Structure 1
Amino acid sequence: MRFALIDEAFSFYNQYARQAGFSARLNNSKKNKITNEVVWKQFVCFKEGYTDEIRSSKKLIHDQPIRERARGGVRTGCKSKLTIGKEQTGSNWIISIFIENHNHQLSTPSKVHLLRSHRSVSAAKKTLTQQFAEANVPTYQQMRLLEIEYGGAEHVGCTERDIRNFEKEQRDEQKGFDAETLIEFFESEKEKNSDFFFSYETDSEGRFCRCFWADHDGCMVYDIISFQSSSISKPRVLSHNQKMDYISCSCMKFEFEGIPCRHMLAFFRINQVFKLPEKYILKRWTRDAKVGGHLLGQKNVDDNPEKCLMSRHSKLSYKAAMVIDNASLTDEGTDHADDLPPKLTLI
């Protein structure tokens, strides 16, 4: 099998990894010493190598280990890999080594979409999420809409966390420029309408603190006044059932959210109780939260025609979503996808 580009070879291996139930990643490469051109590339299973070796190699300049979050071991020294090399007489890439066997358990079809190499926010999804954000659609609702459009969370190609990370990157790019952008917008509105009013304040370091703006209608209808509001805190009632040794608060925070409120904690502090009783620590907040849960990936599939239909639909939805994402990026791709053989729609 031949590939024109390294990216095509990795895409092929990654698709194979998705069907097999593991995640792929780039590994080593070799360059031509004369032309400095890559002539050899290797793709491996994400569990290749060992975590201890990776952590020990991460050192700072002053030879101190990098502080990072403690995680469980992920890599198991898996030997599964795909190696490609460049042809000596051409520009294509050919497969030289392929090892299929793994030394670990593979993921189930319902969970494989959560692995790293199978999660990415494509350019089409980035544009779509930006449009959702302009319409003030929350991120969790954006994910629900994508799940409906693509036929399930396993076909979206990314998770809600991936979308939130993309939104954070967008906000980070605007840091230091968002205040200037707002002032430029106010100035442009002032040029359009001389009755438009705006004012802003900065601190001692020149950083944007606060602003006020009013359009023509607002200036005519409303007067700007200053006022001081007073707030009255609502009293809370704490009940202690001595027979059952149980306390409850009228704010109902523990009943609704499963978290003891500050009034309950104050009661414990007054009564010299410095360790929270286990009855007020719900299982959902412990390490055993998932123990005994039902795994959807272990559900047996019977001969129900409706389940068989959904299984076939899920298998095709992922491939169709990839075609749509890639084709919608350019006019040529859209025209090419639109000109697919009519028999595909008449099956």
Structure 2
Amino acid sequence: MFGGSESDDCVTANGMVYIPEVRNEETPAVGMKFDSLDLAYNFYNRYAFLAGFGIRLHSSFRGTYKKEILRKEFVCCKQGAYRKDETRERKRQRGISRCNCKAKIVVVKTNGSKKYAISLFAEGHNHKMTDSERVHLLRSHRRISDSTKVLTKQLGSVNIPIHQKVSIFEVQSGGMDKIDFIKKDIYNLECSVNGKLRNHDVELVTEYFMAEQKKNEAFYFKIEGDGEDRFSRCFWADATSRRAYRLYGDVVVFDTTFNTNRYDLKFAPILGVNNH
């Protein structure tokens, strides 16, 4: 059902409406109050998990005076519809199709209180619910544990590709149905982590170069950025190498065969012979 086509998942016979069967205490109701919008989202997402659908934020309204959020609308992940483009086909079929499902809740800030209350609850869906074995793969229910994040970082340090990482997690968990994330989540995690590491690593390299130059003025380095002031290349030569080049600079090898998978940058050592 999660990976089904729109005709299988979203077209109901005779306008049939699907009402999830969830215990009353875990079902939203108009007037139900929460201390924060996050708690309201978590409650509706928990209900959605038990019911068999995913949710997402559809709209948010902020007040003009205090700029605080006064209203949020959370909808079924199948709300809305993709625009049909007859001149261009989508390159990749996504697992979740949208079919104008009207299920949603609206949460508003209560007057004279810091609490938020449900002002509208549309319970019916125009599609079948996702079965319990697949519902955890819907976007709002996917989770990457802290231990998985640590292991992802460790595997990345030895250049294990993402598809192999997912296979390792699958074996560890006892099957793909036991994993609360998909390959795309690991890819997004790595992009986020690597982006932070790259920014931090540039700072560390710059600090190291400056410290070496402070110890010996003959140490030379230069760091260049691109048009958006992002790191693009650097060059350095320590005092010993520069002195050796002055004495034995007749034989030099410029090797660009070294590459790094992590930064997509070439490493080109300049090698010489010092007759020893």
TM-score range, shorter chain: 0.5 to 0.7
Q: Retained in 2: the 8 A contact 1:113–1:155?
A: no
2:83 match: 52
Q: 1:179 to 1:208 in 2, by over 3 A?
A: farther
Superposed, which structure 2 residues align to 1:1-347 within 5 Å? 1-52=32-83, 69-70=90-91, 74-121=97-144, 125-134=148-157, 137-147=160-170, 150=173, 152-173=175-196, 208=233
8 Å CA contact 1:179, 1:208 repeated in 2: no
Indicate the residue corresponding to 2:262 in structure 1: none
Cα offset, 1:122, TM superposition: 5.2
Cα distance between partner residues in 2 of 1:14 and 1:189: 54
Deviation of the 1:81 alpha carbon: 0.7
Residue 80 of structure 1: how far off its partner (Å):
0.6
Q: Deviations 1:156-212 (Å, cap 9, x if unpaired)?
A: 3211231123213333455688677568668989999x9xxx999999x99648999
How many angstroms apart in 1 are the aligned matches of 2:147 and 2:40? 22
Report the residue type matching 1:46 in the other structure: C
Q: Counterpart of 2:67 in 1: which secondary structure?
A: coil
1:68 is displaced (CA, Å) by 8.6
Report the Cα distance in structure 2 between the residues aligned to 1:186 and 1:32, rounded to whole angstroms: 50
Q: Which amino acid aligns with 2:35?
A: A
* Aligned CA-pair RMSD: 4.7
CA distance in 2, matches of 1:6, 1:202: 46
**Which structure's residues are more often strand, by fraction?**
2
Deviation at 1:143, TM superposition (A): 2.9
Which region of structure 1 is more displaced relative to structure 2, 3-12 or 67-76?
67-76
Q: 1:43 to 1:202 in 2, by over 3 A?
A: closer
CA distance in 2, matches of 1:185, 1:33: 48
Larger RCO of the pair (alpha carbons < 8 Å, separation 6+): 2
Please say if residues 202 and 210 of structure 1, whose CA atoms lie closer than 8 Å, have aligned partners that are also in contact.
Answer: yes
Structure having the higher helix fraction is 1
Structure-2-length-normalised TM-score: 0.54
Equivalents in 2 of 1:161, 1:108: separation in Å? 21
State the alpha-carbon separation in 2 of the partners of residues 152 and 212 from structure 1.
Answer: 51
Residues 209 and 221 in structure 2, CA contact (< 8 A), matched pair in contact too = no
Aligned CA distance change for structure 1 residues 208 and 80 (closer, same or farther; 3 Å): same
Deviates more, 1:171-180 or 1:126-135: 171-180
2:257 equivalent in structure 1? none
**Structure 1's 68 and 3: CA in aligned 2 closer, same or farther, altered over 3 A?**
farther
CA drift at 1:45? 0.6
Structure 1 residues 122, 185: CA separation in 2 closer, same or farther (over 3 Å shift)?
farther
- Normalised by the length of structure 1, the TM-score is 0.45
The answer for the alignment partner of 1:285 in structure 2 is none
- Pick closer, same or farther for the CA change 1:176–1:85 going to 2, 3 Å: closer
Counterparts in 2 of 1:169 and 1:108: CA distance versus 1, 3 Å: same
CA distance in 2, matches of 1:209, 1:33: 48
Note the C-alpha offset of 1:39. 2.0
| AA in 1 matched with 2:113 | G
Gaps of 5+ in 2: 1-31, 239-250, 254-276
2:165 partner SS: helix
Q: How many residues align?
A: 208
* Percentage of identical aligned residues: 34
3-state SS of the aligned residue for 1:52? coil
Q: Could you say which structure has the larger radius of gyration?
A: 1
- Could you list the runs of 5+ residues in structure 1 that have no partner in the other structure? 56-64, 214-224, 228-347
One-letter amino acid of the structure 2 residue matched with residue 4 of structure 1? D
